[in-house]
Structure 1
Amino acid sequence: MTSNHKRLEELQQQAKELAERIEQLKAEGAREVKQPRDNLLGRWARHEEYGHVLIACQHADERGGLFVAYPDDGFPDGADGRYANQRELTFPEQTTRPQDVPVGEAWLVDADAGDASTTNTPAVKESTGLWITGENNEGGVRAWSDNEVTLITPLIPAHPQDTPETVTTEDEYAALPEGSVVAKPGEEPWVHLPHVWAQEGAATDDLVLAGTVRHVLRYGWGAQPR
């Protein structure tokens, strides 16, 4: 068997496993991220008129009002504050821009590249500017750029698992489930895909990563380390 045929078989197996994972995500269902209700003091959010604002109260009043502070060059101290309705705020976990989604997250999306499109489909942010979806009818995968993707809702496991803070050995890297993201300070994160660890423009395996301590930034397809 030639190296090209072997590589083709590996890619076909990866595509099959990704399609199976996508079906599993569909079966688990998506849990929509809603606006937080309590413990708002000190949280950042975005307001269409005021830009980035800092919430200065624990929770909204009975009408949904929150006191927020935001930069304002017109004031002597460079900041201003006023009441805003919580419905007017967008929190970081409610991002609607594909380019703002961290690498490794899974979302339900619509995607349209002109010559191809898909709707209501699970997708993984594989690397900066690149999303991957499964094309189940073809048994392969499809890549999309940020500007071809419309986010619907994040796919978040209902019960995140306990996760290790770091990994070092080959066995520890191999034990991380697909979708996990690891990195050390100063390097691009590595995403665990079927049979391979990938980052923008590169791919490697557990053995090559072993021996270097990396932090687990994400466990599986959505659970944050505790």
Structure 2
Amino acid sequence: MTNNRKRLEQLQEQAKQLQEQIEQLKAEEAREAKQPRDNLLGRWARHEKYGHVLIACQHADERGWLFIASPDDGFPDGANGRYANQRELTFPEQTTRPQDVPVGEAWLIDADDGDDSITNTPAVKESTSLWIAGENNNGDENAWANHEVTLITPLIPARPQDTPETVTTEEEYGALPEGSVVAEPGENPWVHLPFRWLQEGATTDDVMLAGTARHVLRRGWGE
């Protein structure tokens, strides 16, 4: 093999690697462009390490950090809330492939298996490879594989508690289910966790919150 031939193969391999890097950067740029910037309070996101998390602040700071809460058993260090950079989060509307949607999420989809098709139909990701979209004319479940599905939009509300509601008394605070978010104007939100309320850098209970009327921004985890 001549030196020119070797050099050509090296350049071709370098060009291939550069093209892969370019595609990765383009994909990352497109993903970041889709990230919401404002009105983050009460929104679901997914963290690669912590799974599903709830954002407990209105927007990220100038460096991209925001406060998140865990709907499950807290974080590995035992905390129920922590800071994370928004770059580490993926929001439902950023998902573009059916196989990337977590099991249990509901989406509006189109689907076509070559014989039957549906359009603009609510469906739930039942398993890693299967979607269920209600019953067909025979009373059987409409089941679709990932490769047969086209995603339209996630059916996850940004703010599940749309009806104006306030709580003031100890009993009213205590009656809110875990995952609820309350706040008064100008105040950081409080997230309801087992036997306590969590705010950025603080925890409290129903007794301490009582006496101040706060709006219910989310009732429960919104699942």
TM-score by length of 2: 0.34
Bigger Rg, structure 1 or 2 = 2
